C-alpha cells in the first residue's frame, strides 16, 4: 500500500467527519433561525453575536444532562441504538465525490474517499440499514410510544425506499453507470433534472420521508407520540439521534445534488482548470447542498404533517406507480435514441 | 498471506454470530445477530471482489428482509411466558429434520475445493457489475427471465392474499 495514499485518505476521512459534524451542528442553529424568521420571531440570540455560539451551548448542555436508562429497557440495545443511527448517517459520505481532483505537493488528490463502481448502490445499502438505529432504540426503550415511533419509522422506510430506488434507476439508465463519478461526468453539459423532472420530484419526496422530516415526521410526531422513538432517551444519546438526523440531511442533500443537479459541475466550467477549478467546484457543490437544506427546512415550517394512512397511500399508490411509468418511458426513449427500433 | 488471515478471522466471526442467532434466548436479539451475520457475509463477497453481490446482499437481506422480520417480532411482543411448549415428539422431529438438512449441506459443499479452482481460473473482475450483467443477459438469459417471472407471480399472489380481507382504513 502506498503510504502517501494512506495518509491522504486518512486526512480526507477526518476532514469529512469534522465537516459533517460541524455542518450538522450549525444546521440546528440555521433551522431555528429560519423557523424564527418564517414565524416572525427573533430566534436564538443570547450565545455570542446573533446567537452563533448556540450549537456549542446546546452540545455542552446535552453532555452535562443526566444519562438515564429506564429500568425495564434492554440495556445493551438501548445504548447501541443511537450509536448505530449516527454511524449509518456518517458512512454514506465515503462515496461522495466532493469536487474535481486537487493538485497538491505534486500529487493528484481525489476528493472522494472510495471510488467504488457501485457508488449509488452503496448509498442505498447504507440507507436501507439506517433504520436499525431507530428501530432498535425504539424497541429497547420498552415504552409504547417509542415502539410506535420505531414501527412507523420502519414501515415508512420500506415503503418509500422502493419509489426512491426506481427513480434512481432512471438516472442510472441515463448515465449507464452506477459510479457516482460517472454520473457527475455525464452531467457536465446538461443536468439530469432537466431530463428527469418527475424522477427528481419523486426522489425528493422520498428523501424527505426517509429522513423523517416534516411533513413525514410521523416517527417522532410530538402531538401523538410524546417524542416518538426517542421518548426515553436523554443526554447525549438523545443528542446523537437528533444529530444523526441533521447529518443524514446534509448527506442526502449532497446525494440529490449529485444525482440531479450535476454534483460539482457549474456553468462555464471549461474556462477554469487545476486547483481553481477544484475549489470552484467544491464551492458550487456546497451552494447546491445549502439550497437543498434550506428547501427541506422551509418545507418543515410550511406544510402540516400527513396522517399515517395518507403517507402509506402516497407512497404505494401514487409515487411507486408514477416512478415505474417514468422508468418505462425513459427506458423506451433511451432505447429509441440508441436506434433499437 | 494477510488475505488468508483476514478471511480466517472473517469466517470465524461469521460462524460465531451465526451460532449466536441460534443460541440467544430472545428472538429480537436473534434477528440482530442474523443481521450481523449478513454483514460478515457481505464482507466476504467484498474479499472476492464481488462488489455488486456484496451490496445487493446488504440491501436485500440486511436492509429489507431483516427489517420486516424485526418489524413483525416487535409487534408480537414475545417473552418467556409466551414461549410455545415443545413436546418430546416435536423435538425429535426437529432434530431429524435439522440433521438431514445438515447432511445435505455437507454433501453439497464437499465439492467446494474444486469450485475454488474454477473461481481462480476466471479473472478477478467477474463479480463486478459489468461482467455480471453481460453474463446474465447473454449466457443465462432464459434462466434470468424465468426467475423474474417467478418473482412477479409470487408478488401478485401475495397481493391477492392480502386483498382478500377488507381494508379497515379508508
Give the tens place of pLDDT for each residue, A192-251.
888 888 888 999 998 888 888 878 877 777 777 777 788 888 888 888 888 888 888 888
Name residues 71-100 of chain A within 8 A of B (Cβ): 74, 77
Q: What band does B167 get if pLDDT is binned at 50, 70 and 90?
A: low
Residue A116 confidence (pLDDT): 79
A200: phi then psi, degrees, rounded to nearest 5: -65, -45
A121 neighbourhood in chain B, CB within 8 Å: 52, 55-56, 59
Residue A325 confidence (pLDDT): 92
Averaged pLDDT, B123-143: 79
Whether pLDDT at B163 is above 80: no
Report d(CA B35, CA B18) in Å as an integer.
Answer: 10
Report d(CA B97, CA B1) in Å as an integer.
Answer: 39
Averaged pLDDT, A274-287: 83
Residue A75 confidence (pLDDT): 81
B71 neighbourhood in chain A, CB within 8 Å: 135, 151, 154-155
A109: phi then psi, degrees, rounded to nearest 5: -105, 120
Nearest to B15 by CA among B32, B42, B35, B40: B40
> Best residue in B70, B72, B128, B162 to probe A by mutation, most A CBs within 10 Å?
B70
Percent of chain A with pLDDT over 90: 2
Residue B148 confidence (pLDDT): 92
Whether pLDDT at A305 is above 90: no
Q: What band does B150 get if pLDDT is binned at 50, 70 and 90?
A: very high
> Best residue in A75, A78, A81, A129 to probe B by mutation, most B CBs within 10 Å?
A129
Q: What band does B121 get if pLDDT is binned at 50, 70 and 90?
A: low
- Exposure of A107 in the CB half-sphere (CA atoms within 13 A): 11
Residue B101 confidence (pLDDT): 93
Whether pLDDT at A138 is above 70: yes
Shortest distance between the Cα of B78 and any Cα of chain A, in A, equals: 12
Averaged pLDDT, A119-142: 84
Percent of chain A with pLDDT over 70: 99
Question: DSSP readout, A226-246?
Answer: TTGGGTT--HHHHHHHHHHHH
Cβ B67–A121 below 8 Å, yes or no?
Answer: no
Burial (CB < 10 A; 0-12, 13-18, 19+), residue A205, is: buried
Report d(CA A60, CA A176) in Å as an integer.
Answer: 48
Report d(CA A63, CA A235) in Å as an integer.
Answer: 6
Whether pLDDT at B119 is above 80: no
Look up residue B111 and give its three cell numbers. Answer: 465439492
Averaged pLDDT, B154-158: 89
User: Higher-confidence residue: B156 or A103?
Assistant: B156
Q: What band does B16 get if pLDDT is binned at 50, 70 and 90?
A: very high
Whether pLDDT at B123 is above 70: no
Averaged pLDDT, B127-143: 83
Shortest distance between the Cα of A129 and any Cα of chain B, in A, equals: 5
**What ipTM was predicted for this assembly?**
0.79
Whether pLDDT at A139 is above 70: yes
User: Mean pLDDT score of chain A, rounded to an integer?
Assistant: 84
Averaged pLDDT, B95-115: 84
Report d(CA B33, CA A341) in Å as an integer.
Answer: 51
Residue B116 confidence (pLDDT): 65
Whether pLDDT at A1 is above 60: no
Residue B147 confidence (pLDDT): 92
Task: Catalogue all structural domains in chain B, each as residue range(s) with its CATH number.
Answer: 1-79 (1.20.120.1200)
A139 neighbourhood in chain B, CB within 8 Å: 28, 70, 74
Residue B107 confidence (pLDDT): 86
Q: Please answer whether residues A266 and A281 qualify as being in contact, where contact means their C-beta atoms are separated by less than 8 angstroms.
A: yes
Report d(CA A248, CA B134) in Å as an integer.
Answer: 35
Residue B82 confidence (pLDDT): 59
Q: Please answer whether residues B30 and B24 qualify as being in contact, where contact means their C-beta atoms are separated by less than 8 angstroms.
A: yes
A129 neighbourhood in chain B, CB within 8 Å: 58, 62-63
Cβ B74–A158 below 8 Å, yes or no?
Answer: no
Whether pLDDT at B100 is above 90: yes
Digit-coded pLDDT (tens) for A38-53 = 888 888 888 778 878 8
Amino acid at each position: 500500500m502506498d503510504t502517501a495514499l494512506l495518509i491522504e485518505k486518512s486526512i480526507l476521512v477526518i476532514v469529512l467527519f469534522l465537516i459533517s459534524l460541524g455542518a450538522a451542528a450549525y444546521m440546528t442553529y440555521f433551522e431555528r433561525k429560519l423557523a424564527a424568521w418564517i414565524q416572525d420571531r427573533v430566534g436564538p440570540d443570547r450565545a455570542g453575536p446573533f446567537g452563533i455560539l448556540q450549537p456549542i451551548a446546546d452540545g455542552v448542555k446535552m453532555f452535562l444532562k443526566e444519562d438515564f436508562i429506564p429500568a425495564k429497557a434492554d440495556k445493551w440495545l438501548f445504548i447501541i441504538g443511537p450509536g448505530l443511527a449516527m454511524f449509518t448517517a456518517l458512512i454514506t459520505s465515503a462515496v461522495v465525490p466532493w469536487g474535481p481532483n486537487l493538485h497538491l505537493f505534486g500529487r493528484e488528490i481525489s476528493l472522494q474517499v472510495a471510488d467504488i463502481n457501485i457508488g449509488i448502490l452503496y448509498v442505498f445499502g447504507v440507507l436501507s440499514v439506517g433504520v436499525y438505529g431507530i428501530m432498535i432504540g425504539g424497541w429497547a426503550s420498552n415504552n409504547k410510544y417509542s415502539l410506535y415511533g420505531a414501527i412507523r419509522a420502519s414501515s415508512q422506510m420500506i415503503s418509500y425506499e422502493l419509489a426512491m430506488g426506481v427513480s434512481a434507476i432512471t438516472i442510472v439508465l441515463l448515465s449507464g453507470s452506477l459510479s457516482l463519478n460517472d454520473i457527475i461526468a455525464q452531467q457536465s453539459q446538461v443536468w439530469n433534472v432537466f431530463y428527469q423532472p418527475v424522477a427528481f420530484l419523486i426522489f425528493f419526496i422520498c428523501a424527505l420521508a426517509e429522513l423523517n422530516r416534516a411533513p413525514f415526521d410521523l416517527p417522532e410526531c410530538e402531538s401523538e407520540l410524546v417524542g416518538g422513538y426517542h421518548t426515553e432517551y436523554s443526554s447525549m444519546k438523545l443528542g446523537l439521534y437528533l444529530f444523526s438526523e441533521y447529518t443524514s440531511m446534509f448527506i442526502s442533500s449532497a446525494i440529490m445534488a449529485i444525482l440531479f443537479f450535476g454534483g460539482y459541475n457549474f456553468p462555464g466550467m471549461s474556462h477554469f482548470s487545476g486547483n481553481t477549478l477544484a475549489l470552484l467546484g467544491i464551492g458550487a457543490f456546497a451552494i447546491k447542498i445549502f439550497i437543498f437544506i434550506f428547501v427541506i427546512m422551509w418545507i418543515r415550517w410550511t406544510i402540516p404533517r400527513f396522517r399515517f394512512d395518507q403517507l402509506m397511500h402516497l407512497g404505494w399508490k401514487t409515487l411507486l406507480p408514477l416512478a415505474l411509468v417514468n422508468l418505462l418511458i425513459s427506458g423506451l426513449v433511451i432505447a429509441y435514441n440508441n436506434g433499437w427500433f | 498471506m494477510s488475505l488468508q488471515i483476514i478471511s480466517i478471522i472473517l469466517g470465524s466471526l461469521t460462524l460465531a454470530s451465526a451460532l449466536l442467532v441460534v443460541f440467544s434466548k430472545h428472538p429480537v436479539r436473534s434477528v440482530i445477530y442474523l443481521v450481523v451475520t449478513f454483514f460478515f457475509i457481505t464482507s466476504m463477497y467484498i474479499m472476492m471482489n464481488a462488489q455488486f453481490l456484496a451490496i445487493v446482499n446488504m440491501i436485500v437481506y440486511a436492509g429489507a428482509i431483516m427489517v420486516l422480520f424485526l418489524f413483525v417480532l416487535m409487534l408480537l411482543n414475545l417473552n418467556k411466558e409466551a414461549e410455545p411448549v415443545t413436546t418430546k415428539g416435536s423435538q425429535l422431529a426437529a432434530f431429524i429434520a435439522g440433521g438431514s438438512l445438515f447432511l445435505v449441506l455437507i454433501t453439497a459443499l464437499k465439492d467446494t475445493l474444486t469450485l475454488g479452482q474454477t473461481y481462480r481460473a476466471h479473472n478477478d473482475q467477474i463479480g463486478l457489475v459489468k461482467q455480471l450483467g453481460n453474463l446474465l443477459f447473454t449466457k443465462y438469459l432464459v434462466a434470468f427471465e424465468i426467475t423474474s417471472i417467478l418473482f412477479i407471480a409470487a408478488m401478485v399472489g401475495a397481493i391477492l392474499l392480502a386483498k382478500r380481507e377488507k381494508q379497515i382504513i379508508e
